Chains A and B, each alone.
Chain A
Amino acid sequence: MLDNLKKMIYKYAYLILPICTLLCLAGFIGSYLFPNEVLDTYEVNMKEEEGDEEFVWPLTGAEDEIGYVMETDGRALKGFQIGISKNGAALTGTELIYRVYGLPDEGESMEAVIEKLNAGIETDGLEMLLEKSYDLGTCLDGQYPYLPFDEEGVCKGRLYITFTYQNNGNDEGVLPGIYANHHKVERAASYREGEIVTEMMGGEEAPVMIKHYYIYSHDTYPLLYDCRVLTFVFLAASMTVCYPKMKKKKEGMPDAA
């Protein structure tokens, strides 16, 4: 069977190889025109400084929101990863609700905005860019699940992201929480019920910061390299085929070898 297949391929090599050449050329053009989007994970606050220890910031109720203010790097933020503590429970059906609000950009620096928000932050009057939920039963205790934002890329610029939960009838009696520490993140701040929370660390007051990753994306051209190289590989191979016309010509020549 394998031999028959081999014979057939050899027989039709004069068709197969040029077609493959053209397909690779088409793949090269297509790959260039339709890039593939890749998610990039950026570690923002995952390590504790000396003397600091991570702890769990519990989510105590639907009204009790944990918030985070940040500015994107010019690209749209495609998602967020935060550490979920389930305190050993399964929390099947319990949902983490996350909302993204756009903060008004009046041309001032992000540091100035955060300074201004030190007094507190209200979501009333802010434009809500998206609201989504994540089933906490699907992640492991202590894991940093990916919380996707939107595909269109509206989460851009200065953002206020809030997290709360909805138990949806789950009666395990355990509160989920978010991992946090006291590390300072440039041009960002964490909030609880709209207020910055500070705690004593090493004799000084330090703000609490949730541990997290940012998820951005960029375009790649995964088949571009292959297609452009393979186009010429198949072209080279096509040049070793004895095409039917050439065969006929040779057969017509009495002295042909």
Chain B
Amino acid sequence: MQPEKKNDLIKASVQYAAVFLIIMLLSVAGEILVFNTTALFHSYEPVECTLETNRMSVETVDSLAQLSGEEQKAILVEQENKRLLAEYNGVEYVEELDESLVEQDGSLYRKVKETKIQIELDDSYYINKLKVEIPLEKNGGFSAGVYEQGQLSPLDYYCSINPKLDAGVVNIGGKKTNGVVISLLTEEEPDLSALKITISNDFALNGVRISFFAVCFLTIYMIFAGGKSLWGLMKKRPEWFFAVFALLFGGLLIEGIGTNQVSYDEYSHAKSAYKLSFGSTIETTEAAMQMVGNTLPYFNNPEERALVESYEDRMNDPDVIPPDIGHQSRFPRAETRVYYPMAAGFYLGRVLHTGFADMVALAKLGNLLCYIFIVFWAIKKARGYGMVVAGIGLLPNSIFIASALSYDALVTSCLLLGYVLLLNEILTPDEKMKPGNVLLMLLSFVIGCLSKPVYIIMALMALFLPRSKFHNRLMGVVFKVSVTVVAGLMLYNIFFPTPVAGGDYQLVSNLAFSGDRRSVGTSTMGQISYILENPLTYTGVLLSEMFGMLFGYILKGVPYVGYAYLGTAPFAVNWILIILGVFAALYAPVRKKIGGIFEGLSHLMNFGVAAIVFTSMYISFTAVGNDRILGVQGRYFIPLFLPFLSCLFGKKGIDRLKGAGIFREKLQQTPGLYERIIFGVIGAVNLFMTWKLVILGVNV
């Protein structure tokens, strides 16, 4: 190596090491200043209260607790499923209500014991955490309030107590108080002799929060202070920056969410991925059994997380509870293979003997890495519009599902890659198609559609490629027929699947009984018959639902950007991302427009796919004859963003606006400005959501 180059390399290494060190120091400082200020100045030995310490007065009375809407719906769904099963088995169904429930004014209530606890402290304390420990057989919970300057605050601090943990911890937020009031609700008579309440304000550095600050500072550095060489690289190789940002944002989610199952039907994906990580004999530990049954305890703060993870490790130990043995085919079905990235993580976790939570994190990481790898290639292959693809790839919804147990990440990423390759062909009408690209394109579409075949319609855009793309007319015809057959076969499999494996073989194979078991009144055949008998009524329902959802997201304030059940970003974020998408497409360095015909076809294809998505949910998830379509989520349309935005490529009409042309010039002249705007805005949105929903939600 030349001495000059060696010196430059040393200089750059020292510079980046210094940046890393400064970022780490700032992150720790942020953690102390934001989360540990009161503990820094007002820390004390935790105060423990039991009946023996005589610090609290306790009284238990009978009470009723109203069930949440979700709990009431779950009971209805369970009853409906029992009724269906009875009908299938040809036995009479008798509706029964749990003895612990009472129906009043159309609502369900649970009979509970309310224990009122009053704690008087000798002195004023800054309370950060309030921990209630009591052995329970069934779920319980408590609400707490504190005395501030002699006044009792409302009992606003709520915490559930999972009988698997026998404890619950709530964050009081460092309030100064000399008394606490707790209302403890339990289904059974509580054993008050074992009741223990701990008040604390410990100084505790938290790895998740420090990592969050570090990612924030690193992002700020890359966008605002990276320098010409870094920004030049960002312009030249945006796929690498996408990979770094996706790994950072996704890694934060994996680390911050832990084993809380907050993604869409995560337990069901966990089941498939966990099973796939074995050969023909599956050994399901008790912890895994609870994961796939969605009965693992949740945590809301780091203290509860420690309790949950310790419980999971105990339940994952085969010497404590022997694993359950099941069987499966050595050859997994096509739809199941989409879980390989996650299954690899589960397998690795088992081989490395990690804790249960770490094994789940590895499974999620497998999904994230696979997602990053595919989108990386989509950006790399995109001819001039890589940043549009990067923006779609970094959407909070996309990063969230890629960092969870879900096959949707593979759907989004493969469809992105497939459509990028197709779009390249559309943008170059005079170039012959290359067999490698075509094979990769079709394989991407097929893999992306394994679990959601309706998107295969997107591949049908290839039918409109001009004659000039092929070596002769016959080859063009055979190509187009083959693509049509591929799409047809994938759609055919929805209605006539190859036999499934497992104990639910007969029920699932029976179309008369099929329908989504999470929703009441569904029947695939029943709904299809209804649509065929009432085509006009259904068309009305379909159009009103489709346009209702569209206007909801762009005009009526319905939030779109979200982390599933953790929550959504404010409505303004919808528009920030719409503007960002339009900006990315209009200013993408694409020389050619896709052309009027393909513009029209893209919109038609988007409309068609959206209509099929709505219809599939009407058939599988909605009760027969309903005038609404249930279960359609905005994230289902992420794969359609690229076809939509591609219609804006190369349109320079906006430059006629005052200053717009100068802005385009500025974008071209300033190193990496176009890329930094996109990465910066999308990074800020991701970090804002992670802060709000993950850090403040479950890590404080």
Q: Is B214 part of the binding interface, using a Cβ–Cβ cutoff of 8 Å?
A: no
A235 touches B503 (CB 8 A): no
Given contacts A140-B318, A225-B334, contact A233 B442 (CB under 8 A): yes
Stretch of A36-44, A95-103, A170-178 contacting B (4+ beta carbons < 8 Å): A36-44
A142, A222, A226, A238: most-surrounded residue (chain B CB, <10 A) = A222
* 16 contacts across the A-B interface (CB closer than 8 A): A9-B436, A17-B435, A17-B439, A40-B327, A40-B502, A42-B503, A140-B322, A143-B322, A144-B324, A220-B498, A220-B500, A221-B498, A223-B331, A236-B442, A239-B482, A246-B472
Bound CA–CA A225/B486 (angstroms): 11
Stretch of B161-169, B307-315, B473-481 contacting A (4+ beta carbons < 8 Å): B473-481
Q: Is A116 part of the binding interface, using a Cβ–Cβ cutoff of 8 Å?
A: no
Q: Is B432 part of the binding interface, using a Cβ–Cβ cutoff of 8 Å?
A: yes
A222 touches B479 (CB 8 A): no
Residues on B with beta carbons closer than 8 Å to the beta carbon of A218: 499, 501, 505
Q: Mark B293-329, 1 if CB is under 8 A from A, else 0.
A: 0000000000000000000000000110111111111
A36 touches B325 (CB 8 A): no
Q: Is B446 part of the binding interface, using a Cβ–Cβ cutoff of 8 Å?
A: yes
Q: Is B199 part of the binding interface, using a Cβ–Cβ cutoff of 8 Å?
A: no
Q: Is A117 part of the binding interface, using a Cβ–Cβ cutoff of 8 Å?
A: no
Given contacts A10-B436, A140-B322, A143-B322, contact A239 B476 (CB under 8 A): yes
20 additional contacts (CB under 8 A) given A220-B500, A229-B489:
A10-B435, A10-B436, A13-B436, A17-B439, A38-B327, A38-B501, A39-B328, A41-B502, A143-B323, A145-B325, A146-B281, A218-B505, A220-B333, A222-B331, A224-B498, A225-B498, A226-B334, A237-B438, A237-B442, A239-B475
A225 touches B439 (CB 8 A): no
Bound CA–CA A120/B472 (angstroms): 81
Bound CA–CA A13/B440 (angstroms): 13
A242 touches B490 (CB 8 A): no
Q: Is B470 part of the binding interface, using a Cβ–Cβ cutoff of 8 Å?
A: yes
Tell me the A102-150 residues at the B interface (CB within 8 Å).
Answer: 139-146
Bound CA–CA A208/B323 (angstroms): 25
Interchain CB contact (< 8 A) of A229 among B325, B486, B501: B486
Q: Is B483 part of the binding interface, using a Cβ–Cβ cutoff of 8 Å?
A: yes
Say how far B318's CB is from chain A's closest CB, in angstroms. Answer: 6
Say how far A88's CB is from chain B's closest CB, in angstroms. Answer: 10
Q: Is A228 part of the binding interface, using a Cβ–Cβ cutoff of 8 Å?
A: yes
Say how far A180's CB is from chain B's closest CB, in angstroms. Answer: 17
Q: Residues of A with Cβ closer than 8 Å to B?
A: 6, 9-10, 13, 17, 36, 38-43, 81, 139-146, 215, 218-226, 228-230, 232-243, 246
B471 touches A242 (CB 8 A): yes
Q: What residue of chain A has the Cβ atom nearest to residue B477's Cβ?
A: A239
Given contacts A239-B476, A240-B434, contact A246 B329 (CB under 8 A): no
Q: What residue of chain A has the Cβ atom nearest to residue B440's Cβ?
A: A237
Q: Residues of B with Cβ closer than 8 Å to A?
A: 280-281, 318-319, 321-334, 432-436, 438-439, 442-443, 446, 470-472, 475-476, 478-479, 482-483, 485-486, 489-490, 493, 498-503, 505
A42, A230, A235: most-surrounded residue (chain B CB, <10 A) = A235
B327 touches A142 (CB 8 A): no
Residues on A with beta carbons closer than 8 Å to the beta carbon of B439: 17, 233-234, 237
Given contacts A142-B322, A239-B478, contact A220 B329 (CB under 8 A): yes
Say how far B146's CB is from chain A's closest CB, in angstroms. Answer: 41
Residues on A with beta carbons closer than 8 Å to the beta carbon of B472: 246
Residues on A with beta carbons closer than 8 Å to the beta carbon of B334: 222, 225-226
A41 touches B326 (CB 8 A): yes
Residues on B with beta carbons closer than 8 Å to the beta carbon of A232: 482-483, 485-486, 489
Say how far A9's CB is from chain B's closest CB, in angstroms. Answer: 7
A146 touches B479 (CB 8 A): no
A141 touches B328 (CB 8 A): no
Say how far B445's CB is from chain A's closest CB, in angstroms. Answer: 9
Bound CA–CA A228/B318 (angstroms): 42
Q: Would you call the interface of chain A mostly helix, strand, loop, or mixed?
A: mixed
A242 touches B432 (CB 8 A): yes
A236 touches B333 (CB 8 A): no
Given contacts A36-B329, A38-B327, A235-B478, contact A240 B486 (CB under 8 A): no
Bound CA–CA A143/B498 (angstroms): 33
A40 touches B442 (CB 8 A): no
Bound CA–CA A39/B505 (angstroms): 11
Say how far A149's CB is from chain B's closest CB, in angstroms. Answer: 13
Say how far A109's CB is from chain B's closest CB, in angstroms. Answer: 16
Q: What residue of chain B has the Cβ atom nearest to residue A17's Cβ?
A: B435
Residues on A with beta carbons closer than 8 Å to the beta carbon of B489: 228-229, 232
A40 touches B505 (CB 8 A): yes
Interchain CB contact (< 8 A) of B321 among A42, A142, A223, A229: A142
Bound CA–CA A31/B160 (angstroms): 52
Say how far A206's CB is from chain B's closest CB, in angstroms. Answer: 21
Bound CA–CA A42/B507 (angstroms): 13
A225 touches B493 (CB 8 A): yes
Residues on B with beta carbons closer than 8 Å to the beta carbon of A233: 439, 442-443, 446, 482, 486
A240 touches B470 (CB 8 A): yes
Interchain CB contact (< 8 A) of A38 among B328, B432, B442, B490: B328
Residues on A with beta carbons closer than 8 Å to the beta carbon of B485: 232
Bound CA–CA A240/B440 (angstroms): 13
Residues on B with beta carbons closer than 8 Å to the beta carbon of A221: 498-499
Say how far B499's CB is from chain A's closest CB, in angstroms. Answer: 5
Residues on A with beta carbons closer than 8 Å to the beta carbon of B443: 233
Given contacts A225-B334, A233-B442, A235-B482, contact A39 B503 (CB under 8 A): no
Bound CA–CA A237/B446 (angstroms): 13
Bound CA–CA A237/B436 (angstroms): 8
Q: What residue of chain B has the Cβ atom nearest to residue A42's Cβ?
A: B503
A81 touches B446 (CB 8 A): no
Residues on B with beta carbons closer than 8 Å to the beta carbon of A222: 329, 331-334
Nearest 3 pairs of A and B residues by beta carbon: A222-B331, A39-B327, A236-B482
A81 touches B498 (CB 8 A): no
Interchain CB contact (< 8 A) of B327 among A41, A230, A238, A243: A41
Q: What residue of chain B has the Cβ atom nearest to residue A21's Cβ?
A: B482
Bound CA–CA A221/B334 (angstroms): 10
Residues on A with beta carbons closer than 8 Å to the beta carbon of B330: 36
B479 touches A239 (CB 8 A): yes
Residues on B with beta carbons closer than 8 Å to the beta carbon of A239: 470, 475-476, 478-479, 482
Residues on A with beta carbons closer than 8 Å to the beta carbon of B435: 10, 13, 17, 237-238, 240-241
Residues on A with beta carbons closer than 8 Å to the beta carbon of B331: 36, 220, 222-223
Say how far A236's CB is from chain B's closest CB, in angstroms. Answer: 4
A236 touches B486 (CB 8 A): yes
Say how far A111's CB is from chain B's closest CB, in angstroms. Answer: 16
Q: What residue of chain B has the Cβ atom nearest to residue A40's Cβ?
A: B503
Say how far B443's CB is from chain A's closest CB, in angstroms. Answer: 6
Say how far A132's CB is from chain B's closest CB, in angstroms. Answer: 17
Say how far B426's CB is from chain A's closest CB, in angstroms. Answer: 15
B280, B323, B327, B490: most-surrounded residue (chain A CB, <10 A) = B327
Given contacts A229-B486, A229-B489, A240-B475, contact A215 B327 (CB under 8 A): yes
Say how far A203's CB is from chain B's closest CB, in angstroms. Answer: 19
Interchain CB contact (< 8 A) of A81 among B325, B470, B476: B325
Residues on B with beta carbons closer than 8 Å to the beta carbon of A234: 439
B503 touches A41 (CB 8 A): yes
Residues on B with beta carbons closer than 8 Å to the beta carbon of A246: 471-472
